[in-house]
Amino acid sequence: MRKFTAVALMVVSSAALLLSGCKVLSGDGHSNPISVAPGATPTDAPSATPSDTPSDTPSGTPSETPSGTPSGTPPSSTPIVPPAVAAPGLLHSFVGSGFPQGSLIQSGNIFYGMSTGGGINSKGAIFSLDMSAPSAPVYTVIHSFDLTPYTNGAFPTASLVLSGSTLYGMAGTGGSSSKGVLFSVGTDGTGYTVLHNFAGGVSDGQGPAGSLIISGTTLYGMTGTGGAAPGTGYGVVFSCAISGGSCTITLLHAFTGTSVDGSEPYGDLLLSDGILYGMTKGSGLARPGTIFSLPVGGGSLTLLHAFTGGVSDGMNPGASLTLSGSTLYGTTTFGGGTGCTSSKGCGTVFSIGKDGTGYSILHSFSGTDGGEPGSTLALSGSSLIGMTSKGGNLTGACASSGCGTIFSIGLDGTGFTNQFAFTGSATDGNSPSGSPIVSDGWIYGMTTAGGATDKGVIFRSQIQ
């Protein structure tokens, strides 16, 4: 079992602990032809949009590397300097309507993230956490998303990506068509610019729910719906070529919602050797999700694996893939072992070759060791570090379904270990999500609940 340590940073009246040396590891139109990889069995959805929550304060994974020239000025914000009082377990505890749901990214001594609530208008925020003076970290809301009609986007649901001094991200709703936006903003909070307004229909996606990756001056991402006639569509993979204050969207694939490709793409794409890898989340037993690959310039989508659920397979992945050598690793929220509150299973950890061969379940959760993993796995030597949103500690505030865990497992599936079980208390988190970050013997991450006001926390847990 690992030691869970840290520093609290309350936005209103909170505390801070010393943190030193902290760094993060960190064609337009219709769908293309589809092929099935060796060993993949085809099986058989729209995107999630964040809910409107009241009040103030914020949270957010990165990828490859452009820059845009944004314009406009975001609402100003006053840095919050917490008193230098140690509080065990937390780096930051969100208040008001924070609810961090993505992962942190880092540039030097400064961390950046997003929250689905919080900010001046309680419609979501982009924040920074300056650790230049470890004894007095400075939390700042650098951008607050708009009130109605949400012209510049609202309720961001994932992570930012950094290129130079520019942050790129997506908001799941708002914009000129109220179907979400792709935006850029300076790391100092200036120059917030909507680069693209998602419109849905046959030539665009809508309702982005994952994060962007970047290669050169091109962004790549996915939306959970769109790609077909208005009001229909099962999501798209897109590229967006950045030029000045806008980017040009090209649809690389529009999902059909059938057994040959899946529905509701979710999480981040992974780019390796000119090929994009990703997963669809699907919905329920009828659409249990898929793993796919797609040439970066578009072309034929290849189905690498179609999840089937049950005790022998996972279903409904809720995170992104991780690559080590020629093997992809990931988690599914359901399927596998039983013993959790969901009748669909407690979730799995799996591996599969980049060519779709060698699919294997490395671990099936049972509830006491965690349940419903919804985070991307992080590499740490010959091990993977991950988090489950439920399971683990089944006492006190966590008695009904557990408050989640941090776990490690070998790349070969051996040595599964629970690093930490969350307690859901005011000095602890509940329901971790996003991607954990492994750095200098510590695991960094965020939870969507728990902390002083049950709005989520940023934490670090020591690997011993």
**161 and 220 both lie in a single domain:** yes
Same domain, 295 and 399: no
Residue 108: per-residue pLDDT: 78
Q: What is the CATH number of the domain that holds 246?
A: 2.120.10
Q: Is residue 429 part of a domain?
A: no
Say if residue 328 is in the same domain as residue 372: yes
**283 and 324 together in one domain:** no
Determine the average pLDDT of the residues in 96-120.
Answer: 84
Cα 242 → chain centroid:
23
Mean pLDDT of 184-196: 96
Domain that holds residue 203: 3-307+434-462
> Per-residue pLDDT tens for 254-296?
999 988 999 999 999 999 999 999 999 987 667 899 999 999 9
Q: Which parts of 12-165 are beta strand (E)?
A: 34-36, 92-93, 105-107, 110-115, 125-130, 138-144, 154-156, 161-163
Which residues pair with residue 263 across a beta bridge?
none
If asked whether residues 147 and 246 sit together in one domain, one would say yes
Give the pLDDT confidence score for residue 217 in this predicted structure: 95
How many Cβ atoms sit within 10 Å of the Cβ of residue 21?
10
Residue 135's pLDDT band, with cuts at 50, 70 and 90, is low
Average pLDDT of the chain? Answer: 80
Residues 146 and 271 in one domain: yes
Dist. CA 421–CA 406, nearest whole Å:
7
Do 105 and 251 share a domain, yes or no?
Answer: yes
Report the amino acid identity of residue 312: S
Whether 158 is covered by a domain: the verdict is yes
Tokens of 273: 């050797």
243 and 389 co-located in one domain: no
Rounded distance between C-alpha atoms, residue 110 and residue 69, angstroms: 21
Structural domains counted in the chain: 2
DSSP state of 46: P
> Binning pLDDT at 50, 70 and 90, where does residue 464 land?
low
- What average pLDDT does the segment 383-406 reach? 93
Summarised one tens digit per residue, pLDDT across range 57-96 is: 333 333 333 333 333 333 333 333 322 222 235 888 888 6
Q: Give the Å distances, CA to CA, from 108 to 111, 130, 157, 256, 360.
A: 8, 9, 24, 42, 38
Beta bridge partners of 272: 275
Same domain, 127 and 225: yes
What CATH number does the domain containing 348 carry? 2.120.10.30
Stretch 369-396: mean pLDDT: 94
Confirm whether 428 is domain-assigned. Answer: no
Q: How confident is the model at residue 444 (pLDDT cuts 50, 70, 90)?
A: confident
Is the domain of 204 the same as that of 222? Answer: yes
Is 325 buried (19+), middle (13-18) or exposed (0-12) by CB count in 10 A? exposed
| 339 and 301 belong to one structural domain | no
Which of 72-76, 100-104, 143-147 shows the lowest mean pLDDT across its residues? 72-76
Omega into 149 within 30° of 0, i.e. cis?
yes
Same domain, 334 and 213: no
